[in-house]
Amino acid sequence: MSVLSRKNGFDRMFDITNYTIMTVIMLAVMYPLYIIVISSISDPDSVNTGGVWLLPEGITFEGYKRIFTDSKIWTGYKNTLIYTSLGTSLNVVLCLTSAFALSRSDLAGRNYFMILIVFTMFFGGGLIPTYLLVKEMGMTNTIWSQIVPGAVTAYNIIICRTFFQTTIPKELQEASEMDGCSITGFFFKVVLPLSLPIVAVMVLFNAVAHWNAYFTGLIYLRDHKLYPLQLVIREILIVNESQADSAIGGAGEDGGAQRIADIMKYGVIIVSSLPVLVLYPFLQRYFVKGIMIGSLKG
C-alpha cells in the first residue's frame, strides 16, 4: 500500500511539474501575441515608451480605421489570395503526380530520379543564378514569379512518395489493372480518395508557405500593385517619415507620418495573421499527420 501511495504521490508531482512547465511555455508563446493585440488599439506614444505591457493605454481604433481604408493593404490581400490559391493548386498537383510516379516499383530509373531530387535539397544554384533564370524566362515583375520557381519541393515529394508506398498496397493496383483500369484511372479513382490526409497536409503546408512568403516578392517584383500582403506589411514596419508620407496618403497632416505608421503596424500584423490563426486550430491534426507520415510502417 505504501508503494502504491508513494507512486501516486510521484505521479501527482510529475503532473504538477508538467502543468507548470506547459503553463509557462504557453504564457511565453501567447504573451507576444497578446502584446500585439493590445498595442494595436493603444496610443502609439504609450507603446513606444513601454507603457503597454498588461492592459491597453489610450484606447484608439484609428489604426484599424486607416487599415480598412488603405487601398494598398487590400490590394496586397487580393494579391496574396491569388498567389496562395494558384500556387497551392500547382504545388499539390505537381507534388502528388510526381510522388505517385516515383512510388511505383515498375517505373524505370526511379531511384536515379530520386537521387537527383534529393540532391537539390543539399545543393542549389544560389540566388543570383536563380534570379537570372527567372529573368530570362520573362517572369520578373509578374505573378508567375511568385508561383512557378517554387512549384515543387523535394521535401514534399519525399513525404508524398513515402505515404503512397506505405499506404497504397501493390495488390490494389494489380486488382485494378485486372479490372481494366488504367494507371491514370487508378490514380484518380483509387489513390486520391485514399490519400485525402496527405492531400490536406500538402494543401496546408503550401498554403501557409505562400501566405507568409515575402522574399520572392522582394526579389522579383517592382510594381507595387503586384506586392503580396507581407511586402505591404514590411513597408509599413520599416518605413521612415519621408517614405511613410508618400506610402500612406495624407498621413503627414495628422501629426507625423511615423506616428501614423506606428498606429497601423500592429493592426496590420493582426489583420494579416487572422486567417491562419482562425484556421489553424481546426486543421492542427493534419499538421501532426504530416509530421508522422513515414515514421511508422505496417
CA distance 206 to 84: 8
Per the CB < 8 A criterion, the answer to whether 245 and 257 are in contact is: yes
* Contact partners, residue 155, CB within 8 Å, separation at least 6: 121
Axis-axis angle for helices 154-167, 196-212 (nearest 10): 170
For residue 173 the three cell numbers come to: 493496383
CA distance 126 to 149: 13
The length of the chain is: 298
CA atoms within a 13 Å half-sphere pointing along the CA-CB vector of 191? 28
Q: What is the full DSSP assignment across 149-187? A: TTS--HHHHHHHHHHHHHHS-HHHHHHHHHTT--HHHHI
For residue 146 the three cell numbers come to: 511568385
* Contact partners, residue 31, CB within 8 Å, separation at least 6: none
Structure confidence by residue, pLDDT tens digits, 101-160: 998 888 888 889 999 999 988 888 888 999 999 999 999 999 999 999 989 999 999 989
pLDDT digit string (tens) for the chain, length 298 residues: 444 455 577 788 888 999 999 999 999 999 988 998 898 888 888 887 888 888 888 888 888 888 888 888 889 999 999 999 999 999 999 999 999 999 888 888 888 999 999 998 888 888 899 999 999 999 999 999 999 998 999 999 998 998 898 888 888 888 888 888 888 889 998 899 888 888 888 888 899 899 989 899 999 999 989 999 988 888 776 764 444 445 455 544 444 566 667 777 788 888 888 888 777 777 777 666 666 665 554 4
pTM, full prediction? 0.79
Q: Tell the burial category of 282 from Cβ atoms under 10 Å away from its Cβ (0-12, 13-18, 19+).
A: exposed
